[in-house]
Amino acid sequence: MPDKILGLDIGANSLKAVLLVRGFRKGCRVVGARRVAVNGDGGEAEALKTLFSDPAFGGLACITSLPAGELSFRSLRLPFRDDRRIGQALDFALEPLIQTSLDEVFIDYSARGAAAGKAEIFAALAPRDLVARRAEALKDWVREAPVIDIGAVPLAIHLTRHGGGEAVLLLDLGARNSTAIFACRGMIQQVRSFPYGGETAGGLSGERLSADINNTVTSLLWQGVLTEAPAQAFLTGGCSQQPGLAELLGTRLGIPVEKADLARAAGITIDEPLRRAWEPAFMDQALALAARPLSRGKGNGFNFHRLFKATRAGYGTWHGLLKKSAAVAAMLMLLVLVEQGTADVADRLRLAVLKEDLHAAYRQIDPEATRIVEPVAQLKGKIAEARKTSAGIYDAVGRTTVLNLLREIARLAPPDLLVISLNLDGGAFALKGQATHFDSLEVMKKAFAQSDVIQSLTIDGTEQGKEGVTFDLKGVLKR
């Protein structure tokens, strides 16, 4: 008999639970659903107690998620596509891009594209304490929680898979936050959160939301994060019910906007009388979680519980493995000193056992190792090699920042130069500015020729106005 899966969406004001039976031939069927308010008295813990007081929801495998607004996201490119190498290099590649310690976050990633042997990676960083709190809150109520995903990400993936293959935008409009998820062909391209919702000061304004979305799309297209603009938008969350919102957003975004309905799109059956009370805006995220694949396959979303379990077991991160190896190495060195002073057979046997443990710990880090002579030294070499790979990634894309470039412009440009806008994309930059007269442009070009940062410079266009000469300038940075 097919097993039941519990999808649990825990929001700011309520938690939503969906019981799904995954059939082998007859598809999926919703056999239970419940929505429980999260109030200020008992909060989330009391709401969970109320839900699981119904034995139909307890003791099952539960798939849940974390609020997207409490996570951070990064897009990057790696010069290889192998999952094992990506896993080894990802921490080192992200370390210069984040402001928190790697020991304070769990990092999971999803491929958002690949070309010419390179991988386009979309990485999500979740605070470890947030993941631990969610896992601990559920452990007494469910059989297991094999997956902890991110907000409405599973719903966005489902919608792209059941659509026409075009890029889509899913807007999750909640009470305190709004989230935009960009997806294409089953892959997440980007997630952006906005600090306003239906219950924040000023409420949810369609004009403000559409302006933020349009600005975000323009920025992501310019950065190359999105290869195409969304062709359709879907609304979910309690505040998506706001009258006239879909029509307003459709006009402002210039694309079709409709309210998401996963059961209808995926052909999921909902038992009566559940169907009569079913509200997709509130229940779709829990349904998407319950219907989410349990495997970590490409395009299946994120899973921070897997990383949490690995940490609890003492494995899964370079830092944890290095500490274990260092501890074993310290014991080994101590026993070597003892052996030098005594020829005790028991010490020799213990030394042999510790050597085996040390070799076993090393093989967990480097399964492909064929010969282990000096485990600690070899491990340090592996870490150094990974750091060189990470450094090579950044050497390939250049190290000059907008701040460095602005500092160079301020140092070399004539006093009457006014910078209106500056865009930096890898090794190229575009500057729009204003000067008092045309002679200043020639002075600027000659000055920039002495720069240690700028390799070449061209003036793309000029326009004489009342306040001076407006010009567009393009340049290439030195490597």
CB 71 within 8 A of CB 44: no
Q: What is the pTM of this model?
A: 0.67
Calculate the CA 101 to chain-centre distance.
16
Specify burial of residue 446 (Cβ count, 10 A radius: 0-12, 13-18, 19+): exposed
Residues linked to residue 180 through DSSP beta bridges, in sequence order = 171, 192
Q: Is the dihedral of CA 148, 152, 156, 161 positive or negative?
A: positive
Bridge partners of 431, per DSSP, are 422, 473
Q: What is the 3-state secondary structure (H, E, C) of 4-18?
A: EEEEEEECCCEEEEE
Q: Given this model, what pLDDT does residue 315 score? A: 46
CATH fold of 4-311: Nucleotidyltransferase; domain 5 (3.30.420)
Residue 385 carries which side chain, given as an amino acid letter? Answer: E
Could you tell me if 46 and 39 are in contact, meaning their C-beta atoms sit under 8 angstroms apart? yes
- CATH of 402-477, picked from 3.30.1360.100, 3.30.70.1070, 3.40.50.300, 3.90.1010.10, is 3.30.1360.100
Rounded Cα gap, residues 127 and 63, in angstroms: 19
pLDDT at res. 201 = 86
What's residue 372's pLDDT?
Answer: 76
pLDDT, averaged in runs of 10, over the chain (479 residues)? 86 95 80 92 91 95 96 90 85 87 92 76 95 95 94 94 82 95 91 93 91 94 90 95 95 96 94 93 97 78 89 55 53 54 54 69 69 74 63 46 77 83 80 84 82 83 82 84
In sequence order, what are the residues at sequence separation of 6 or more whose Cβ sits closer than 8 angstroms to the Cβ of residue 427? 397, 398, 476, 477, 479
Helices assigned H by DSSP within 342-412 = 345-365, 375-397, 402-412
CA distance 310 to 148: 14
Quote the CA–CA distance of 127 and 108 in Å, as a whole number: 12
Q: Which two tokens stand for residue 459?
A: 């003036």
Of 184, 164, 11, 215, residue with least CA distance to 110: 184
Dihedral sign computed on CA atoms, order 141, 147, 151, 152: negative
